[in-house]
Amino acid sequence: MTDDTKYLRQLSQQFPTAQKAAAEIINLSSLLNLPKGTEHFISDIHGEYASFQHVLKNASGSIAKKIEDEFGDELSKGEKRTLATLIYYPEEKIDIIEAQSSNFAEWCRRALRLLIRMARRTASKYNRTKLRRALNPDFEYIIEELLTVRDEVSDKEAYYNGIIDSIIGTDSAKRFIIVFCRLIQHLAIDRLHVLGDIFDRGTSPHLVLDRLEHYHSVDIQWGNHDIEWMGAACGSEVCMASVIRFCVKYGNLSTLEDGYGINLVPLVTFALTEYKNDPCSYFAVENSDEEEASTLAKVHKAITVILMKLEGQLSARRPEFDMGERVFLDKIDYQKGTVRIDGKEYPLRDTAFPTVDPADPYALSEGERKTMEKLAFAFRSSEKLQRHTEFLFARGSMYRIYNGNLLYHGCIPLKPDGSFKEATLDGKAYSGKALYDALELWARKGRYSHSEREKAYGLDVMYFIWTNEKSPLYGKDKMTTFERYFLDDKVLYKEEKNSYYSLIEKPEVVRRLFAEFGIDYETGHIVNGHMPVKRKEGESPVHCGGKVIIIDGGFSAPYQKVTGIAGYTLVSDSRVLKIISHEPFVSTEEAIANERDIRSATEIIAHASGRLRVADTDRGREMQERIDDLKALIVAYKSGRIREHQN
């Protein structure tokens, strides 16, 4: 039996007759001619759940635009704002309106009519099969009736009014309004691409991941902050120490303690004991009140010293990572209070190292070791963190090629001459696409390998991805952690960007990047995040004539001082590719009570030569392959090579 016959026999189990195979061909062919679904790209969320949720709910302003297109002058500006807010926050808005309305039933009647029209417009690019998948199963039949124009009904207005009257008469209006609003949100975005850094300064990355876990269609390109957390969840102590340092530095311990239930009492107890006489002046924590400021500063210094020791241990066991110049405890003269960097001696502004043995500076003290053991247990025991990490591995990757576009978080590491920068992993050199593939393979081994050697190496690679100059997700020559804590010379704080960021205006370099990943230069794009675009200083997110687009615009408030805006999103629909810049989001409460949407500005990057169809997408090509296979199955049935399975 040939492989072709074997495959067709397997396919015949699903389509046992030529008639069933023909019906599926007709169904798939109809899908191919529908307009391409809308893709939504978002990056560098950094735990800012409220802003992220609002941008997701309003689909980067596309729902407001659909309201404008559908109703024009039929509704006032205020009525359009109210409708938009209702669609974004149906439960909360309904409660407010019910409390204020003198005739709530009549308001519900009108709201349902408006929402039905909006749902019809939003669903216009989907067939019934896909629409059914988006419907709440409890209301599927009634909603489908309301969204379908039935030619056989002579008085359509009376027919639909009858259904709406029944909904209101059975006290079901609230539920139906909520279902319609969620349906509109669902249909407005066909596919969500998250280009990394769900974690960092914001307080609610766990809520972002809770939302993404239940999102209807999403993929994630890991960011360096995500890998840092994933490594911590997988058992890397150096990643754990780094995660904790970031959380305490930015006054964000609630993510660890409240979000993931990680007990930090052992660390606090250790810090208060070892650093009780140390004011830890250079470790003051942002946004801490007077009562806890002293404690947090001690915790901050304690975990920072532990991190530096663990980095030194990593450097010693993985010399191929080239970390030797980025660890400093062995370069300190503890009597003089100085450190030697690049052959020059610098005075330390903090010389208190009560847990460091100058003869063996990277060895953890007994107290540090016991503290890390307890923290490691807490990270392993966090059910939510482990579940979110599994989700990130299942839906995430170092990069993704989707509908002809190359998506990743940071950069493709380049040398100044535009050639690919190499990194050595487990004795083998990698660059370009091969480096991405090797790093992802090792990260997965760090999570799943049953080999102790592979798992240990994979965990160390995850820290490499987080901070190494050769990592595609970091993209700078160094992370100047030690310098910022212990030295006054701010020249030493500078972190140089990889040459990628200065070379992406050169077509010859960008063509080489496209070729490396097999992307069509004429139709494709590179989309990445990671490096905030300083819009207020004149920087543009669009490079090389629209071939490279950087969409980190500053969702996190601290970055908005640099960018001048509050985030970018990118939208690709059947007609255009457009980037949207967003103004700061005030609060969910303000958005609901005063109907304040995020103010956004749109820039068109590319127009499709004709309206793109599903046939032009990756999914469409898979459908066409399926159609070809089904046609071959029908031929096999007709020739007698395979017999139909009649009941």
**DSSP assignments along 41-57, one per residue:** EE---TT-HHHHHHHHH
Residue 451: inside a domain, yes or no? Answer: no
Report the range of poorest mean pLDDT among 34-48, 536-550, 556-570. Answer: 556-570
Residue 321: inside a domain, yes or no? Answer: yes
Residues 283 and 361 in one domain: yes
Which residues lie below 8 Å from residue 360, measured CB to CB, with a gap of 6+?
none
Per-residue pLDDT at 647 exceeds 70: no
Nearest CA-CA partner of 500 in 435, 418, 429, 407:
418
Unique residue bearing structure tokens 């807010």: 85
Per-residue pLDDT at 340 exceeds 70: yes
Report the range of poorest mean pLDDT among 23-27, 55-59, 537-541. Answer: 537-541
Helices of type H across 154-204: 156-169, 173-188
Beta bridge partners of 220: 194, 396
Residue 506: inside a domain, yes or no? Answer: no
Residue 94: inside a domain, yes or no? Answer: yes
What is the Cα–Cα distance from 25 to 21, expressed in whole angstroms?
Answer: 6
* CB 379, CB 262: distance < 8 Å: yes
Q: Per the structure block, which two tokens stand in for 117?
A: 């029209």
Residues 51 and 127 in one domain: yes
- Confidence (pLDDT) at 136: 76
Residue 12: inside a domain, yes or no? Answer: yes
Residues 243 and 171 in one domain: no
Per-residue pLDDT at 151 exceeds 60: no
Residues 229 and 365 in one domain: yes
What is the Cα–Cα distance from 282 to 331, expressed in whole angstroms?
Answer: 20
Per-residue pLDDT at 70 exceeds 70: yes
509-532 pLDDT, tens digit each:
999 999 999 999 999 999 999 888
Residues 150 and 250 in one domain: no
Query: Model-level pTM?
Result: 0.93
Element (H, E) at 569: strand 568-572
Residues 97 and 69 in one domain: yes
- Confidence (pLDDT) at 125: 78
What is the Cα–Cα distance from 240 to 457, expressed in whole angstroms?
Answer: 16
Residues 122 and 177 in one domain: yes
Residues 245 and 367 in one domain: yes
Q: What mean pLDDT is predicted for residues 333-349?
A: 96
Element (H, E) at 516: helix 507-517
Beta bridge partners of 67: none
- Confidence (pLDDT) at 150: 58
Helices of type H across 449-505: 452-467, 481-486, 500-503
Residue 481: inside a domain, yes or no? Answer: no
Residue 583: inside a domain, yes or no? Answer: yes
* CB 487, CB 428: distance < 8 Å: no
- Confidence (pLDDT) at 610: 83
Provide the pairing of β-strand 405-408 with 399-402: antiparallel
Last residue in a domain, options 333, 362, 387: 387
Residue 593: inside a domain, yes or no? Answer: yes
Q: 345 lies in which domain range?
A: 224-387
What is the Cα–Cα distance from 588 to 574, expressed in whole angstroms?
Answer: 31
Count of residues making up the chain:
647
240-268 pLDDT, tens digit each:
999 999 999 999 999 999 999 999 999 99
Question: How many Å separate Cα 66 from the centre of its chain?
Answer: 25
Residues 336, 338, 343: CA angle, nearest 5 degrees: 125
Per-residue pLDDT at 228 exceeds 80: yes
- Confidence (pLDDT) at 356: 98
Per-residue pLDDT at 559 exceeds 90: no
Which residues lie below 8 Å from residue 560, measured CB to CB, with a gap of 6+?
554, 566, 584
Q: What does pLDDT average to over the chain?
A: 92
31-55 pLDDT, tens digit each:
898 899 899 999 999 999 988 998 8
Per-residue pLDDT at 412 exceeds 60: yes
How many domains does one find in the chain?
3
Helix (H, G, I), strand (E, B) or coil at 331: helix
Nearest CA-CA partner of 293 in 281, 303, 302:
281
Residues 186 and 314 in one domain: no
Residue type at 280 in one-letter notation: C
Residues 261 and 353 in one domain: yes
Residues 629 and 551 in one domain: no
Q: Per the structure block, which two tokens stand in for 439?
A: 């790093």
Last residue in a domain, options 330, 357, 387: 387
Last residue in a domain, options 336, 369, 387: 387
Phi, psi of 599 (to 5 degrees): -75, 130
Phi, psi of 526 (to 5 degrees): -100, 130
Residues 112 and 126 in one domain: yes
Nearest CA-CA partner of 194 in 368, 337, 55, 91:
55
- Confidence (pLDDT) at 564: 66
Provide the pairing of β-strand 332-333 with 396-397: unpaired
Report the range of poorest mean pLDDT among 88-97, 208-217, 555-564, 568-577. Answer: 555-564
What is the Cα–Cα distance from 398 to 226, expressed in whole angstroms?
Answer: 11
Which residues lie below 8 Å from residue 276, measured CB to CB, with a gap of 6+?
298
572-607 pLDDT, tens digit each:
998 899 998 888 777 888 888 888 887 778 888 888
431-488 pLDDT, tens digit each:
999 999 999 999 999 999 999 999 999 999 999 999 999 999 999 999 999 999 999 9
* CB 476, CB 496: distance < 8 Å: yes
